Each structure stands twice: as C-alpha cells, then as structure tokens.
C-alpha cells in the first residue's frame, strides 16, 4: 500500500492521471450530450421523412388512378373503384419505394381498403435499416379523392396511414457509440503517452535539482544546478544556486572565523603569558627575599609596566568585543578635526623627543568641521602616531598632515621606519598581526591598535589605507567625510 501511495505521489504519475482524467471527463460529457441530442434528432428527422412519404403516397395514388382511368376508362367501373382492385399494387409500390414501411389505405367508414409492408425486409436489414418503434405514424389530414370517369358515378375517398418505417437510426447510434468508445480509448492512450513524455521532461530537471541538493547536503559545496530549458525550473535552479553560493560563502566565512578565533585565542594566550610570567618571576624573587632594595625597586617598576600592558591589552580586547557586538558607543558631535589631532600631537611630542624622533604636524589654517566622536578620534590618532613613533628609529622623522579634500578630510601619518613587506600589507589591519620587519618594537605592541583604528574609521563612514616600501617607511591615510552643518542637523 505504501509503495502504491508513493507511486501515485510522483509528479509524472499525477500528470498522466490528470491528463487522462481530463480526456475521460471530456469524452464522457460529450457522449452524454450527444446521446441526449442525437436520438431525438434522428426521431424528428425520421418522422419528417415519414410525413413526406405519406404525402407522396397520396399524390402517387391519385396519379395512378387517373392514369388507369385514362388508359382504360371502359373497364374502370364503379365496382372496381368500390372494390379498390388497384390499391394493393399502389400500396406495395409506395411501401417499397416511398415509405420503406407499412402503408395502409382506409375508407371513410374506417374499414381497411389496402395494406402493404416492404416486400424484402432482409435486403433492408443488410443495408442497416430496421423497424424503428420510436417513430410515430403519419395520417393524412385530407382524404384522397378518386373520381369515377363516368360522371354519373360517385367518387371514392381514402385516408392514408404510413407507420413502422425502416430507418438507420439504431445503426447510426451504434456507429456513433463505437466511434466515441474508440476515440475515448485512443484519447486515453494519447493523453497517457503525452503525459508520460511531458512528465519526464518536467520531472527530469526537478530530479536533477533533487540530486544536486542531495550532493550539497552530503558536503559537496561545489555542486550547482545546470540550466534545463524549462523557464520555471531554471528560475528555481538559479535561486537554488544563489542559495548554494551563499551557503558555501557562509561556510567559508565560518571556517575563516573559526580559524581567526583559534588564532585570536592563541594570540591572546601568548600576549597574556609574557606579563603573567614576568609578574610571577618578580613576585617569587621578592618572596624569597634574595634581592636588595635597588633590585626590588626595579622589579616593582617592571611589574608596573607589565600591569600597564595587561591593562592596555584588556582595554583593547574590550573595545574589540564591543565593536563585534555592535555596541561600541559613539558620541557624535560637531567639531574641528584640528583639535583632537593637535592634542594627540602635543601629547606625543615628549615621547618623540625621548626616542630621538622628529615629529612635525601640518594642519590647514581654517577649521575642518565634521561630526565625530572626540574620544574615539583621539584614540585613532594616538594609535597611528604612536605606531609611527614606535617603529621609527632614532634620528628618523614622523610627519602628520591634515588636509581638506573634495567633501572629505584626509589625515596622513608618514614615518621613515623600516617599512612593511608587500606580502604583509593585506594583513596589516588584522587582529594580533604584527609584521616581521619591525625589530624590537614588535614585542612592545599588542597587534590590536590598527584593527581598532580601522573599526573607528569605518564607524565614522570613512576609510583607511596604507602605502609602504621596505626601507622607505610607511604612510597611513585616513579619509573622513565632511558635511555642511545644515545637512547634519
């Protein structure tokens, strides 16, 4: 039973059954309509022919009587007219040629004058003609008058009745019935064949989609549905391919996120291991009491540095987690971009002097008004300028420029450090990524500053880029949008 139900639930089988059902219902309705109309139509036609045959019999009777009287008037006596000796021949001729049925001549008193039936019923049967009981009889309204040639003699009048005609109605109805039955069988066969062909043409592309989806479910993410030539199925296949592309892309992104998360955890563990190990060492040495006062003060200073590093790392990690969660707060207000840049440059001047690096700043004379978060902008400029100072050797130079472009401001931080290798440039804004050509400065950073800087820039609707060549320094450019104050309100 379940196999039969599964077979009947197939699309091609349903299509064949639907086409066959439509053909069967159409033929059934047509057959019922025809057999409600045709029998009555044939009966009406047969009765009309019978009426015409009765009228023709009356005319023939008169013509025959006048012809006989004209040929031998001396023999057509009153007795012959009364006895109607010529009526049987006339009735038989009419029954065989006009009526193809029973012909009866009645006197006015109701007595039968003559009666005749077809002389060769077998021959009529071979022609497909049979007595039709459904056809009524015809009775002449006006009696046929036959006058005696002798004017002194009276005239004789006969009523003509024709009935029980031989018709082909039954044969025709049987032929129509057989034709309808044959047409029905042929229509069912043709509809079944057409339904099978069309069903296969439709189900083959759908089955291809099913197979591709099964392979995709099995993990073959490169499988796609090819075009089939059927518009609706092709549209379904295109949507399926788009879904498969997005699924594949999402899985690749998940794999990439998983790899980045693994690297992130490893990098965080590595970053935490160094200060924790240093703090443990300093604590154990002081606990043993084997260090003098000067060494103890040195340990405390280094411990303070490691704690500051841990604090900086935790702050950066907290900022990144807020950025990922979409809850990084921004206090957007109108202000002059020269203010946060100037305050950062002033704060970094002392660090530049200690490192022996020249720090120069160039800003336009007129204000550059924009909507920005002052605290985050200070954080952005601090990261960029701090990195430039950190990676620039003694005697080098860091140049900071602020310029007004076409509806945007550009902040450029250029240094004369070792530069960045070309193969490392695409990864420079990744978390915990630190280049290989950075010397001792590599160990002092967390690898999170540039990632946070890019997020801050993007949250302000801007962009950041870097240009660098080994041995010739690096240049970071930040593009921030500018607006009219009237548009921002």
- DSSP sequence for 159-193: EEEEES-EESHHHHHHHHHHHHHHHHHHHHHHHHH
Helices within 218-292 (DSSP H only): 231-288
Q: What is the mean pLDDT of residues 44-61?
A: 84
Residue 11, both tokens: 């699309």
Residues 6+ apart with CB under 8 A from 336: 367, 368, 369
Taking the model in full, what pTM does it have? 0.45
Domain ranges of the chain: 2-174, 251-309, 329-488
Q: Is the pLDDT of residue 14 over 70?
A: no
CA angle 27, 177, 124 (to 5 degrees): 160
Q: What is the pLDDT of residue 167?
A: 85
Q: CA neighbours within 13 Å on the CB side: how many for 151?
A: 0
Q: At what angle do helices 11-71 and 87-94 cross, to 10 degrees?
A: 160
pLDDT in tens, 254-297: 777 677 667 666 666 766 676 777 777 777 767 776 667 777 67
Q: Is the pLDDT of residue 252 over 70?
A: yes
* Number of C-beta neighbours around residue 338 at 10 A: 18
How far from the centroid of its chain's Cα atoms is residue 62's Cα? 84
Q: Tell which residue, 443, 442, 364, 436, has the closest CA to residue 402.
A: 364
> Strand runs (DSSP E) across 305-367, as ranges?
332-336, 358-362
At 268, is the secondary structure helix, strand, or coil?
helix
End-to-end CA distance of the chain: give it in Å, rounded: 73
Q: What is the pLDDT of residue 74?
A: 47
- Give the span between the Cα atoms of 361 and 401, in whole angstroms: 6
CB 423 within 8 A of CB 394: no
- Give the span between the Cα atoms of 392 and 345, in whole angstroms: 16
Q: Of the ranges 132-146, 150-164, 300-314, 468-482, which is most confident?
A: 468-482
What 8-state DSSP symbol labels residue 142? Answer: S
At 474, is the secondary structure helix, strand, or coil?
strand
Tell me which of 67-81, 392-406, 425-439 is least confident.
67-81
Tell me which of 225-229, 230-234, 405-409 is least confident.
230-234
Convert 387-412 to b/e letters by CB count within 10 Å (16 or more is b): bbbbbbeeebbbbbbbeeeeebbebb
Instruction: Please determine, looking at this structure, whether the domain spanning 329-488 carries the CATH number 3.30.420.40.
Output: no
How are beta strands 463-468 and 397-404 bridged, if at all? unpaired
Mean pLDDT (the chain, rounded): 78
Q: What is the mean pLDDT of residues 81-97?
A: 77
Q: Name the band, by pLDDT with cuts 50, 70 and 90, for residue 341.
A: very high
Q: Is the pLDDT of residue 316 over 70?
A: no
Tell me which of 77-86, 115-124, 396-405, 410-419 is least confident.
77-86
Q: What is the pLDDT of residue 7?
A: 58
CA angle 98, 104, 106 (to 5 degrees): 135
Residues 6+ apart with CB under 8 A from 54: 99, 138, 139, 140, 160, 161, 162
Q: What is the pLDDT of residue 151?
A: 45
């Amino acid at each position: 039973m379940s196999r039969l139900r599964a077979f009947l639930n197939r699309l091609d089988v349903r299509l064949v059954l639907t086409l066959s059902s439509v053909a069967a219902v159409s033929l059934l309705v047509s057959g019922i309509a025809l057999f409600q109309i045709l029998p009555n139509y044939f009966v009406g036609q047969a009765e009309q022919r019978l009426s015409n045959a009765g009228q023709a019999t009356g005319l023939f009777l008169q013509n025959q009587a006048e012809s006989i009287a004209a040929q031998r008037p001396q023999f057509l006596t009153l007795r012959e007219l009364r006895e109607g000796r010529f009526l049987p021949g006339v009735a038989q001729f009419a029954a065989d040629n006009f009526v193809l049925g029973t012909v009866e001549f009645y006197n006015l008193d109701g007595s039968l004058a003559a009666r005749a039936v077809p002389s060769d019923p077998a021959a009529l049967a071979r022609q497909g003609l049979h007595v039709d009981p459904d056809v009524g009889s015809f009775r002449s309204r006006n009696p046929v008058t036959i006058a005696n040639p002798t004017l002194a003699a009276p005239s004789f009048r006969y009523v003509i009745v024709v009935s029980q005609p031989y018709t082909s109605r039954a044969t025709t109805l049987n032929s129509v019935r057989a034709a309808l039955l044959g047409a029905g069988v042929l229509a069912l066969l043709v509809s079944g064949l057409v339904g099978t062909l069309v069903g296969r043409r439709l189900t083959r592309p759908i089955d291809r989609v099913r197979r591709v989806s099964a392979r995709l479910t099995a993990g073959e993410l490169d499988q796609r549905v090819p075009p089939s030539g059927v518009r609706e199925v092709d549209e379904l296949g295109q949507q399926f391919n788009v879904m498969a592309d997005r699924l594949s892309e999402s899985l690749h992104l998940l794999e990439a996120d998983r790899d980045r998360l693994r690297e992130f955890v490893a990098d965080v563990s590595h970053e935490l291991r160094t200060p924790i190990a240093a703090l443990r060492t300093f604590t154990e040495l002081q606990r043993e009491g084997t260090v003098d006062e000067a060494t103890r003060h040195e340990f405390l200073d280094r411990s303070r540095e490691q704690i500051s590093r841990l604090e900086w790392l935790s702050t950066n990690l907290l900022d990144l987690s807020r950025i990922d969660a979409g809850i990084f707060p921004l206090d957007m207000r109108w202000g002059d971009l020269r203010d946060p840049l100037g305050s950062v440059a002033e704060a970094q001047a002392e660090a530049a002097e200690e490192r022996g690096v020249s720090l120069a700043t160039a800003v336009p004379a007129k204000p550059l008004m924009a909507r920005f978060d002052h605290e985050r902008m200070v954080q952005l400029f601090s990261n960029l300028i701090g990195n430039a100072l950190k990676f620039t050797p003694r005697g080098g130079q860091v140049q900071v420029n602020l310029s007004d472009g076409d509806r945007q401001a550009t902040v450029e931080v250029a240094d004369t450090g070792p530069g960045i290798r070309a193969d490392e440039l695409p990864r420079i804004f990744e978390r915990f990524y630190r280049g290989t050509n950075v010397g001792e400065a590599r160990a002092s950073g967390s690898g999170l500053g540039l990632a946070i800087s890019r997020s801050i820039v993007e949250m302000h609707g801007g962009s950041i880029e870097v240009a660098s060549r080994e041995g010739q320094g690096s240049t970071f450019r930040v593009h921030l949008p500018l607006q009219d104050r009237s548009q921002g309100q």
